[in-house]
Amino acid sequence: MALPVERPLTDVLQPSLLAGGGPLVVQIHKALRTLILETVLLPWQTLFEKDVAACLEVSKTPVREAIIRLSEEGLVTVVPKSRTYVAPINLDRFLEGCFVRLQLESGAAKRAAAERSLEDVCNLKACLARQEEAIAAEDYTAFRHLDEEFHSLVIEAAKLPGVIQLLETAKVEIDRIRSLKQRLNIRATDRVLAQHRSITSAIADKDPAKAEEAMRTHLGSIETKVWELGENPEFWALFEAINRERPRFRLSA
């Protein structure tokens, strides 16, 4: 197993990452957050404000504000007058995120079955069709994004859009661990798609109890999540390797 190598900020941070529009601090936060969740920026990697600002060709002020937001999410650690670095993946927070997700999303699926519109059902079915296309094309990055879209559509069908933001905050460690699994080609796309179909069918049939159970089956219990973490030795070796603090050398003055 080839371990991920920490890449210089100059390789991963480019001004083009800020082409999304909106307030600069929001764009910087989104860019850094995405790179952390996708484990492009690895745990313990140092994020000097001036280096990040130089790579993105912006001033240090919005970078500082973005880093504060990341710190509040637990994705970076700021040591005053020392360094700021990407936080290691926290297993306790991972399990907490699994718990929050299970409760909120199973409840949302139940409510979606009662509140959904015809448009909601069409959106869910269209998302399923795109997932099938992604699997056929072996485009697993696209499938991962469509997986996220599917879950957001369920919450929207429940008429609970604010829950999406709550989940985005709660599941940061889930996303980082999923990114590590993707590096090792650990995936269950066919099973996931079948479960998505079951959820969609229950919502379309306006069967709240069945929709809730289908979502609970899809997400799995906390006990299942604990078991899954240790059942693949290659994954666990990768997790421990990147989560272990590495020696740092600051070459610039």
The string of pLDDT tens digits covering residues 151-203 is: 999 999 999 999 999 999 999 999 999 998 888 888 889 999 999 999 999 99
Res. 111: pLDDT tops 90? yes
Give helix 172-183 / helix 162-170 axis angle, nearest 10°. Answer: 60
Between CA 66 and CA 177 the distance in angstroms is: 23
pLDDT score at 80: 87
In this prediction, residues 206-230 reach a mean pLDDT of 89
pLDDT band at residue 248 using 50, 70 and 90 as cut-offs: low
Between CA 156 and CA 20 the distance in angstroms is: 23
Q: How many CB atoms lie within 10 A of CB 176?
A: 25
Q: For the residues of 175-237, what is the DSSP string, one character each?
A: HHHHHHHHHTT---HHHHHHHHHHHHHHHHTT-HHHHHHHHHHHH--HHHHHHHHHS-HHHHH
Q: What are the tens digits of pLDDT across the range 43-66?
A: 999 999 999 999 999 999 999 999
pLDDT band at residue 223 using 50, 70 and 90 as cut-offs: confident
CB 167 within 8 A of CB 105: yes
In this prediction, residues 116-130 reach a mean pLDDT of 98
When the pLDDT of each residue in the chain is averaged and rounded to a whole number, the result is 91
Res. 97: pLDDT tops 90? yes
Read off the tokens for 29: 């936060």
pLDDT score at 1: 55
Amino acid 17 reads L
Between CA 38 and CA 74 the distance in angstroms is: 15
In this prediction, residues 103-129 reach a mean pLDDT of 98
Res. 3: pLDDT tops 90? no
Domains along the chain with CATH numbers: 9-87 (1.10.10.10), 91-238 (1.20.120.530)
Number of C-alpha atoms within 13 angstroms, CB side, residue 72?
8
